[in-house]
Structure 1
Amino acid sequence: MTSYVKTTVLLAGLTALFMGIGYLIGGKGGMMIAFIMALGMNLFSYWNSGDMVLSMYGAREVDGYSAPEFYGIVARLAERAGLPMPRVYIIENDQPNAFATGRDPDHAAVAATTGLLRMLSPEEIAGVMAHELAHVKNRDTLIMTITATIAGAISMIANFGMFFGASHSNNEEGQGGSPLGMIGGILVAILAPFAAMVVQMAISRTREYEADRIGAEICGRPLWLADALTNIHNYAHQIPNHQAEANPATAHLFIANPLHGRSFDSLFSTHPAMEERVRRLHEMAGVATMSRGPWG
């Protein structure tokens, strides 16, 4: 199964989970409402998800005058990748991290934190932004933002389950009531967000490995990205990202898990193990010759 087919199946599963929760809460009528909501959210995400995420993190757009070095790195990498120049943003945050967003390469944006621009070398920054442009090239950005939207909605609607289960526990399912009782509502509220997290994690991990590989090809030096990932991983455990902690459904958008390394976050991380990502990049550097030299 190719990574694109796998991602499509997982995203369909996430939507089906949302509809299933609707059925458990409101029967067939609830499932239909959930289906309509899922369609509406996907359409809304298609047109607005990029700007929503950038606004959520207070991202500031920059250009060749306000951030010449950073903007220049992105411009050179975009040219190497054969991509339109994306919008470029900086996020005021001490944790080194970055993400890409937007519905397609013509409406893409890349963002880096001030911590990343301050702590990493220009070569490491190039490796990071090449990874983000790989997401743009693969059209992962839309998939990842839609995933965040649906996963967040599942968590929200699941919390309603226990209340609806209690209020409708005496209704018959055939009469249009909820199939849930109080116990069922509590189980949905607990288990549904976990199920959404597992699917979200699988989608993100599939896309991250591919973006690492293509990002290494774009910048021409796998070790630039490997070194950047190692440094980001080390700093991320020391420096909290309060915006990401408040919006954990967006954590999978970042190049590295922005959550502060609590055991719960680590267990359900939306990112592959950093050691494995770095190992694969070192393997690329050792056995493969880039078809083009490093940018510069």
Structure 2
Amino acid sequence: MNGFKTTMLLAALTALFMALGFTIGGRGGMIIALLVAVGMNLFTYWNADKIVLSMHGARQVDAASAPEFYSLVSGLAQRAQLPMPKVYIIDSPHPNAFATGRNPENAAVAATTGLLNILNRDEIAGVMAHELAHVRNRDTLIMTMVATIAGAISMLANFGLFFRGGDDNRGAFLATILAVIVAPFAAMIVQMAISRTREYGADKGGAEISGNPRALASALAKLAHGAAAVPNPVAQRNPAASQLYIVPGLARGGDSLFSTHPDTGNRIAALEELAVTMGQSAPRDAFAAPAPAEPVSYTHL
């Protein structure tokens, strides 16, 4: 069902993009806009992981430089029946994590030092399993393509009045103004809707990979609190990056149209239901004050 919803939303975004190109420049404008989008998507397809990791100043680690963290990811990748992804650590107090890459064979997972410092081992396993679920579901490619098309729509909208500003046809001019105003707004809603759909799927997949839905629920509660309290300079400079993370990179809660992620409480509730289905013990209060994290050496590089 999630795959069907994502396909429909992606199709709607593509149709919106083509309609905007037609409104601004007729058939010629539609073709030119489509060619630009194809070029952007091809570049993004091959370079998205490098762009995202460079944007965050991520540094790659291995079994020698971060043995516990690397070993944890390796074990989870084996359980998920995935190739071993590249593993990165980001020196940032903002607690978050993300996955990137065009396919499972070229995937990378990253976590901030802020995340590694506030979560215990089981919670870190839950988070990294969530990111590996994104890789297994090929969400990283889909989200990249969606973000690229949404960016192309915004770009066209910014130039729309310039291209058609001298049009003597008042109806066409008004249609262009409407497209310039509505198209970026609609693209943003579709992009965020796809992101929210994918997060629920990755939560479920991550819980199944780690075997501990309640640990992931506990991690989400801690991360949502920490991410809201600690600024994320990357997301502040590039708001579109917020959809990459396991919890929002910018403080926007709830399940509103403008939320990049589902409400954390709803995600935790879904994981608690999954834990019961898997026969785990009675749930604790996921919103209680987070317990101190167990000492770990993941960031002692």
TM-score by length of 2: 0.87
Structure 2 Cα separation of the partners of residues 188 and 114 of structure 1: 43
The structural deviation recorded for 1:46 is: 1.9
> Residue 261 of structure 2 corresponds to which residue in structure 1?
271
How many residues get paired?
280
> Residue 149 of structure 2 corresponds to which residue in structure 1?
150
Q: Deviations over 1:109-135 (max 9, x none)?
A: 001112111121121111100000001
Structure 2 stretches of 5 or more lacking a match? 281-301
Q: 2:273 aligns with which of 262, 283, 296?
A: 283
Structure 2 Cα separation of the partners of residues 221 and 92 of structure 1: 27
> Residue 167 of structure 2 corresponds to which residue in structure 1?
169
Alignment of 1:146-225 (within 5 A): 146-166=145-165, 168-170=166-168, 180-181=172-173, 183-225=174-216
Native 8 Å contact 1:22 1:30 kept in 2: yes
Equivalent pairs: percent with the same residue?
A: 60
> Residue 225 of structure 2 corresponds to which residue in structure 1?
234
> Residue 61 of structure 1 corresponds to which residue in structure 2?
60
Q: Deviations over 1:219-238 (max 9, x none)?
A: 01001100010111111111
Could you say what secondary structure the match of 2:127 adopts?
helix
Q: Deviations over 1:117-166 (max 9, x none)?
A: 11211211111000000011111110011111121222222111232232
Structure 1 Cα separation of the partners of residues 58 and 154 of structure 2: 26
Structure 2 Cα separation of the partners of residues 232 and 118 of structure 1: 11
The structural deviation recorded for 1:185 is: 4.1
Alignment of 1:13-52 (within 5 A): 13-52=12-51
Structure 2 Cα separation of the partners of residues 26 and 80 of structure 1: 51
Cα RMSD for the two superposed structures: 2.0
> Residue 250 of structure 1 corresponds to which residue in structure 2?
241
Native 8 Å contact 1:239 1:260 kept in 2: no
Structure 2 Cα separation of the partners of residues 83 and 289 of structure 1: 26
Could you say what secondary structure the match of 1:111 adopts?
strand
Structure 1 stretches of 5 or more lacking a match? 174-178, 291-296
Structure 2 Cα separation of the partners of residues 209 and 125 of structure 1: 18
Could you say what secondary structure the match of 1:65 adopts?
coil
Could you say what secondary structure the match of 2:92 adopts?
coil
With over 3 angstroms needed to count, the CA separation of the structure-2 counterparts of 1:188 and 1:289, relative to structure 1, is same
Native 8 Å contact 2:234 2:241 kept in 1: no
Name the stretch that deviates more: 251-260 or 78-87: 251-260
Structure 1 Cα separation of the partners of residues 267 and 29 of structure 2: 41
Structure 2 Cα separation of the partners of residues 98 and 3 of structure 1: 22
The structural deviation recorded for 1:279 is: 0.2
